[in-house]
Amino acid sequence: MKQKKFTLTKRQGITLFTVVMLIMAAVIVFYRNPLANPGEERIKKVIAAVVIFLSIPVFAKWYDKFTLLPVELYQSRHLICKLAKNDFKKRYAGSYLGAVWAMVQPVVTVVMYYIVFDVIMGSGRPTSNADIPYVLFLTAGLVPWFYFNEALQNGTNSMLEYNYLVKKVVFKISILPIIKIIAATFIHVFFACVLLIMAAVYGYYPSIYTIQLIYYSFCMFILVLGMCYTTSAVMVFFKDLGQIINIALQIGMWATPILWDMGTISPKAQMFVKINPLVYIVNGYRNTIFEQKWFFEDFYSTMYFWIFTVVIFGIGALVFKRLKVHFADVL
């Protein structure tokens, strides 16, 4: 006898979303940080609460559009895994070293940055903690950045690369961006292991906090997936977007505390920099490796990141659904 599959009705889905949002709003409102500035804390609470309460009627109105994408991804999960493996293998097919080339460029980049900024220029200690080796500090920031960089670029070009699948009526093209991101995740796992080995060499051994690498990798995965649903859809109609993204990534690397430490700038400047959601992830990797700090200890940054990510994913779902009907005509 076949088991009946459980599915949420529209009313149940909206109710569940509303309950989760109200719980999140209550946690934010009643949370108290004794070290925070009361005025700044109050502003954060008000902004977060307003965004959360506004999201409820928006989600209820466009429920079908918001949920269509996650449902399609779940239904195609087996096909996604298979295509992601094939995409990773195909990328380096025909070369003697194969997937090794995926590892070479990031490693060379880390070595060159270390030589220039630490050995030659003698910056030595651009961190607030003088005990942390700069090469470890640098690698902990570059590992998530490489993941974001590759996933965003490949996900943005997914519709153009797989244009022959886009033209097939029966194929769910919504799975194409996530295929490219999963393929990028394979390389990211390798570099996360390299980071752990490097940390152990410097005396920062794996601990219970290391499990947070899975959490922060998931944060990056969801963030870049939401972004790619917008960028991949727009890329079909506006090819120049690829060049714009390349320039934005160059600026973003310096705007994100990868080569430098947040502790070296003023508190007001830190508030401005933290608008960038990648700051949460980069700092999270460092907190995991050598600060040994849990993600929930930075409460407001965690709440901000997930509110921002949910909004980006929602926008991506709406844009993709609106434009995908025209993809086959343009391609």
Each residue's pLDDT, cut to its tens digit, for the chain (331 residues) gives 445 555 778 888 889 989 988 888 888 888 877 767 777 778 878 888 888 888 889 888 888 878 888 888 888 888 888 988 888 877 766 666 666 776 777 777 777 777 776 666 655 555 556 677 888 888 889 999 999 999 999 999 999 988 888 877 677 888 999 999 999 998 899 889 888 988 898 888 888 989 999 999 999 999 999 999 999 999 999 999 999 999 999 999 888 998 888 878 887 888 888 889 999 999 999 999 888 888 888 888 888 899 899 889 989 988 998 898 888 778 6
For the entire predicted model, the pTM comes to: 0.84
Q: Give 38-64 pLDDT, tens digit per residue.
A: 777 788 788 888 888 888 898 888 888
The CA-atom distances, in angstroms, between 159 and each of 40, 167, 180 are 43, 10, 10
**Whole-number Å distance between alpha carbons of 158 and 173:** 10
Element (H, E) at 126: none
**Sign of the C-alpha dihedral, residues 250, 323, 220, 75?**
negative
CB atoms within 10 A of CB 184: 26
pLDDT at residue 169 in the model: 66
**Whole-number Å distance between alpha carbons of 146 and 179:** 17
pLDDT at residue 204 in the model: 86
**Whole-number Å distance between alpha carbons of 101 and 107:** 10
pLDDT at residue 1 in the model: 45
3-state secondary structure (DSSP) of residue 255: helix
Residue 198: which of 261, 106, 280 has the closest Cα? 106
pLDDT at residue 278 in the model: 94
CB 165 within 8 A of CB 80: no
pLDDT at residue 128 in the model: 57
**Whole-number Å distance between alpha carbons of 301 and 239:** 34
Residue 323: which of 219, 220, 153, 177 has the closest Cα? 177
pLDDT at residue 280 in the model: 93
CB 160 within 8 A of CB 235: yes
